[in-house]
């Protein structure tokens, strides 16, 4: 089973947690794709460069200068640091952004109703390229920068969406695929302040209830939308769990079911 | 014939020259590997981040903070910008640093007599990986960051040396290979202030004479040393020329001969 694993910015930004996670990931058998964020590092570098970070609804508005920063940070610093650490732990890692080999082509998001700037959504994943690299025994490390062939530009792209897009494309190419969202919490929580309140399973009915009751932390909604998109489009298993659980069978956390 | 082409920091730092060069490069038939620098951009970003750039004999001293900057700039900003522009011009470009897939493994340079910090020299080039990517019709774009498997760290690596190391490794793997150093001058000049003074051919005897007479611009010496290393180790042709000449037969410029 191919594992598509996504780690968020709070893990990437914590060297100790990142190191432990990468050691665990490298120890796993089988084909693996790691998709990483890096938003906290990008915000820090932007600040150091005197570039103001503007967020709308938790999403980064990406002007030309910010696109340069996220390209540097995601596809350069974070991606290559992860590749180097995975290699040290014995994984033959290769770091790519969506532009590389046309791995993930995207389309710039409409500036209406909200203009997020150089931000796009995946349109096509090159599953042949990915399968070839996995077939060489490589661990693919994907940075959340994609390429819009119509506009000829790099685009900042949500890493949760990239992970689900890769997982769906691989599943639809006939590869049995599991999608694992790893972050700093234990799973989807009924009470965001209570790590013991993990919801073990969420199906569409429960999701609708949780949304209606306002019980779910706002930042979790896009992750859950991506999770349901994946499970609805052929991905065998979707789990949201703690990065600390990646080497544990079943991962603990929250399993998404149809 | 495989072309291994290197462009220097003065081209990378000039958007118009870079765009023209990449359009020309994309128009060329046959297998291509592009190795790029980016030192001027790295110096500018370092300055903006308040990190002092220290050079010794024209080489960047690379402490931990500077390693982070060159990793961001070379493997991130510059590499992915080049990949995006090449794709726009129709080349199926894939950007890698030496750590990716273990493409270029290096060894950290001894701190004696000069401690350059996180700087290394290539020890092994994965010609199978490169040949596979070229065989897919891809243009490989290589950033001058390598990986030291013994120390488990990324290393800043001279781009001229990376270009000659790749060219030599491919030649020794049986691929007919040409190495082209592109920069802002027309070739090796007898008089650095006179663009008309291009020396058309340099053999080891003439090189020794030019070095002894002090006629050669100091920054040119490592490039020429790399050029002779390549021609002495199986590379079919080595040329030093203007980036503007990459699409012209013969390139003008200076040809290195045994």
Q: Which ipTM was obtained for this model?
A: 0.96
Q: What percent of chain A has pLDDT over 90?
A: 87
Query: Span A134-139, mean pLDDT?
Result: 97
Residue B215 has a pLDDT of 80
Alpha helices in chain A (DSSP H): 9-12, 15-27, 39-48, 64-70, 79-88, 127-135, 159-172, 204-213, 220-232
Least confident range of A55-64, A128-137, B40-49, B133-142: A55-64
Residue of B nearest to A99 (CA): B84
C-alpha distances (whole Å) from A12 to each of A49, B80, B96, B194, B254 are 20, 21, 21, 51, 47
Q: What CA–CA distance (Å, rounded) separates B247 from B25? A: 7
Alpha helices in chain B (DSSP H): 9-12, 15-27, 39-48, 64-70, 79-88, 127-135, 159-172, 204-213, 220-232
Separation of alpha carbons B94 and B33, rounded Å:
10
The Cα of B182 is separated from the nearest Cα of chain A by a number of Å equal to 23
pLDDT at B2: 98
| Other C-beta atoms lying within 10 Å of the C-beta of residue A63 | 16
- In 10 A of CB B32, how many CB atoms? 22
B92 and A101 within 8 Å at the Cβ level: the answer is yes
Across chain B, what does the average pLDDT equal? Answer: 95
| B2-256 fold | Carbamate kinase (3.40.1160)
Give the largest CA-CA distance in chain B.
47
Residue B81: list chain A partners with CB under 8 A: 71, 154
Q: Cβ distance B231 to B177 under 8 Å?
A: no
Tell me what the mean pLDDT of segment A105-124 comes to: 95
With an 8 Å Cβ cutoff, are B71 and A48 in contact?
A: no
* Shortest CA distance from B149: residue in chain A: A88
Are the Cβ atoms of B45 and A49 closer than 8 angstroms? yes
- Chain A environment of B74 (Cβ under 8 Å): 76
Parse chain A into domains and list their residue ranges.
Answer: 2-256
Angle B150-B107-B5 from CA coordinates, rounded to 5°: 130
The answer on pLDDT for B217 being more than 80 is no
For residue A97, list chain B residues with Cβ-Cβ distance below 8 A.
80, 83, 95
Mutate one of B12, B64, B84, B156 to test the A interface: name it (highest A CB count within 10 A).
B84
Q: How many whole angstroms separate alpha carbon B54 and alpha carbon B244? A: 31
Q: What is the three-state SS of A67-92? A: HHHHHHHHHHHHHHHHHHHHHHCCCC
The reported pLDDT for the residue numbered A173 is 98
Q: Does position B155 have pLDDT exceeding 90, yes or no?
A: yes
Residue owning tokens 């780690």? A7
* Phi, psi (deg, nearest 5) at residue A203: -110, 175
Q: What per-residue confidence (pLDDT) applies to B34?
A: 98
pLDDT of residue B219: 75
Gap between the Cα atoms of B88 and B92, Å rounded: 9
Quick one: pLDDT at residue A214?
Answer: 84
The predicted model gives B48-54 an average pLDDT of 93
Q: Using 50, 70 and 90 to split pLDDT, how confident is the model at A125?
A: very high
Asked if the model's pLDDT at residue A219 lies above 80, the reply is no
Chain A residues near residue B152 by CB distance under 8 angstroms: 84-85, 87-88
Strand partners, A35: A6, A142
Answer yes or no: are the C-beta atoms of A11 and A22 closer than 8 Å: no
To the nearest whole number, what is the mean pLDDT of chain A?
95
Of B45, B84, B149, the CB nearest to A152: B84
pLDDT at B214: 84
Calculate mean pLDDT across residues B31-37. Answer: 97
A129 vs B149: CB contact, 8 Å cut-off?
no
Nearest CA in chain A to B133: A101
Strand duo A2-7 + A177-183: pairing: parallel
Q: Is the pLDDT of residue B28 over 80?
A: yes
pLDDT at B137: 97
Tokens of A215: 């019980």
Hey, how many other C-beta atoms are within 10 angstroms of the C-beta on B200? Answer: 10
Q: Comparing C-alpha atoms, which of B108, B93, B94, B95 is closest to residue B146?
A: B108
What is the reported pLDDT for B58? 75
Cβ–Cβ of B99/A80 closer than 8 Å? yes
pTM over 0.90: yes
CB A111, CB A127: distance < 8 Å: no
In this prediction, residue A107 carries a pLDDT of 98
Which residue in the block uniquely carries the two structure tokens 């002495």?
B232
């Amino acid at each position: 089973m191919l594992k598509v694993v996504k780690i968020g910015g709070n893990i990437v930004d914590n060297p100790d947690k990142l190191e432990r996670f990468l050691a665990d990931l490298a120890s796993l058998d089988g084909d693996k794709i790691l998709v990483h964020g890096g938003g906290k590092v990008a915000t820090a570098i932007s600040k150091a460069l005197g570039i103001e970070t503007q967020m709308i609804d938790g999403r980064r508005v990406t002007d030309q200068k910010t696109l340069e920063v996220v390209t540097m940070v995601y596809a350069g610093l974070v991606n290559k640091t992860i590749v180097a650490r995975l290699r040290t732990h014995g994984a033959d890692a290769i770091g790519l952004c969506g532009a590389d080999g046309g791995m993930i082509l995207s389309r710039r998001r409409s500036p209406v109703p909200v203009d997020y700037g150089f931000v796009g959504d995946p349109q096509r994943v090159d599953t042949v390229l990915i399968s070839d690299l996995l077939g060489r025994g490589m661990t693919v490390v994907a940075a959340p920068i994609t390429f819009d062939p119509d506009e000829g530009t790099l685009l900042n792209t949500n890493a949760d969406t990239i992970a689900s897009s890769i997982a769906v494309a691989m599943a639809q190419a006939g590869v049995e695929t599991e999608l694992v969202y790893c972050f700093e919490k234990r799973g989807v929580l009924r009470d965001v302040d209570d790590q013991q309140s993990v919801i073990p399973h969420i199906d569409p009915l429960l999701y609708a209830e949780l949304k209606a009751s306002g019980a779910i932390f706002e930042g979790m909604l896009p992750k859950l939308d991506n999770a349901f998109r994946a499970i609805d489009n052929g991905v065998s298993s979707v789990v949201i769990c703690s990065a600390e659980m990646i080497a544990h069978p079943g991962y603990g956390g929250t399993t998404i079911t149809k």
